[in-house]
């Protein structure tokens, strides 16, 4: 049996086909290639990352998820975080979230926020597992009129 390794790294343009595939499978309000190119090349506050699986000799490496988060001074916002549905519930999303939190801690970010669809219980439970708490509801936040739950967590590392 061959071992796999997990890597979280900065997104590159070559990753966009895989990122767009995961995007298409995971979200109702989809970002376009142009949205991702803006995050990669123009937005100075953006941190676009991918998570990839590879075998030990790196002859096969696949991007299986991504995140985009913004940092402004001492706060940060997770815009998107997704793992291919086939590979969800295998701790890959948690590995990416841990990297975000660790990077925020290193950059002295104090709070991390996000919005999530009010009906997305799976994502809400994932965020709660990672220390996020509901702050408020944003009525009619999404294009289809669905409410968003605004969540926040303090950035601290507890050992």
How does residue 156 score in pLDDT terms, banded at 50, 70 and 90?
Answer: confident
For 104-140, how does the pLDDT look when each residue is reduced to its tens digit (9 = 90+)? 999 999 999 999 999 999 999 999 999 999 999 999 9
How does residue 158 score in pLDDT terms, banded at 50, 70 and 90?
Answer: low
For 43-52, how does the pLDDT look when each residue is reduced to its tens digit (9 = 90+)? 999 999 999 9
For the chain, give the mean pLDDT. Answer: 92
How does residue 61 score in pLDDT terms, banded at 50, 70 and 90?
Answer: confident
Q: Is residue 77 part of a domain?
A: yes
**Which range among 26-30, 52-56, 123-127 has the greatest average pLDDT?**
123-127
What pLDDT score does 3 carry?
62
Distance CA 98, CA 16 (A): 23
Total Cβ atoms within 10 A of residue 27: 13
The mean pLDDT value for 20-32 works out to: 93
Structural domain tally of the chain? 1
Q: Is residue 94 part of a domain?
A: yes
Q: Is residue 111 part of a domain?
A: yes
CATH assignment of the domain containing 20: 3.40.630.30
Q: Which residue has the higher pLDDT, 60 or 32?
A: 32
Q: Which of 80, 81, 87, 26 is nearest to 53 (CA)?
A: 87
Q: Is residue 44 part of a domain?
A: yes
**DSSP labels for 3-71?**
-EEEEEEE--GGGHHHHHHHHHHH-SSPPPHHHHHHHHHT-TTEEEEEEEEEETTSSSEEEEEEEEEEE
Angle at Cα 88 formed by Cα 84 and Cα 89, nearest 5°? 170
For 80-92, how does the pLDDT look when each residue is reduced to its tens digit (9 = 90+)? 999 999 988 889 9
Residue 141 confidence (pLDDT) above 50: yes
Domain interval for residue 21: 4-154
Q: Is residue 159 part of a domain?
A: no
What pLDDT score does 157 carry?
64
Distance CA 90, CA 133 (A): 23
C-alpha to C-alpha distances, 128 to 28, 31, 116, 121, 124, nearest whole angstrom: 22, 25, 12, 10, 6
Q: Is residue 131 part of a domain?
A: yes
């Amino acid at each position: 049996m061959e071992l796999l390794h997990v890597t979280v790294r900065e997104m590159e343009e070559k990753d966009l086909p895989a990122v767009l595939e995961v995007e298409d499978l995971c979200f109702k309000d989809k970002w376009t290639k142009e949205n991702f190119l803006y995050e990669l090349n123009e937005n100075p506050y953006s941190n676009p990352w991918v998570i990839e699986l590879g075998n030990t000799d790196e002859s096969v490496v696949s991007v299986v998820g991504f995140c985009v988060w913004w940092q402004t001074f001492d706060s940060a916002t997770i815009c998107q975080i997704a793992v291919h549905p086939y590979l969800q519930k295998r701790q890959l999303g948690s590995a990416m979230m841990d990297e975000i939190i660790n990077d925020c801690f290193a950059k002295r970010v104090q709070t991390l926020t996000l919005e999530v669809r009010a009906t997305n219980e799976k994502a809400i439970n994932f965020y709660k597992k990672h220390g996020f708490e509901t702050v408020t509801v944003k009525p009619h936040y999404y294009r289809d009129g669905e409410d968003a739950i605004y969540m926040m967590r303090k950035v601290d590392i507890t050992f």
